[in-house]
Amino acid sequence: MKTVWIIDGAYLFNVGRGRPFDYLKLKNELVQRNGGPIYESYYLNSTRDLATDQQSGFHTWLKAAPPRGPKIRVQLYEMKNLHLQCPDCGVQFDREVQKGVDVAIATLLIKLAVQNVYDRLILSAGDGDFEEAISYVKSDLKKEVWVSGLQANLSTDLQSYADEVVWMDDLYPTIAR
């Protein structure tokens, strides 16, 4: 069975804030649960400085093959400044927000499914916004879908479509940094 793993980098970053984990150990655990290798892995995230971050030590390490790294393809997108105004006091301010990452994840998981690149998708993301894409991949394209995340913040919408839910909470003893 060909398996693809797609990671929402911002989601796993927030997962790792309280309990740091190792991506290589996580991938090894997913390979074991999968019963075989993961065909392709993708990490998508946004960044403030696209040119610099593409060469950062962390992103370079993600791309490295085992035993040095987890061999994950990295796709980074620039942050966008959102211009806002406080409704109470009228003060204007900017806030950086992700631009295009969720759309890129949904597009990638559908594109790879339509191209028949995988039979099983493992999605490490917690956002219920992926429900429509997951529904299409599962119901119309007949792909198996696994989701992985924390019990505290993994959308029940995603859980409802999952053939398997991999709780990272349960994996911490083996994936901890």
Average the pLDDT over 15-42 and give the result: 94
Q: How many residues does the chain have?
A: 177
Average the pLDDT over 103-112 and give the result: 97
What's the DSSP call for residue 138? I
pLDDT at residue number 19 = 84
pLDDT at residue number 11 = 92
Which residues touch 104 (CB under 8 Å, ≥6 apart)?
44, 75, 77
Could you give all domains of the chain from N- to C-terminal order, each with its CATH number? 3-175 (3.40.50.1010)
pLDDT at residue number 86 = 82
pTM recorded for the entire structure: 0.89
In this structure, which amino acid lies at residue 16? Answer: G
Alpha helices per DSSP H over the chain: 9-18, 23-34, 50-53, 57-63, 101-114, 131-135, 156-161, 168-175
Q: Comparing C-alpha atoms, which of 14, 26, 71, 45 is closest to residue 177?
A: 26
CA torsion sign for 29, 34, 39, 45 is: negative
Average the pLDDT over 95-106 and give the result: 82
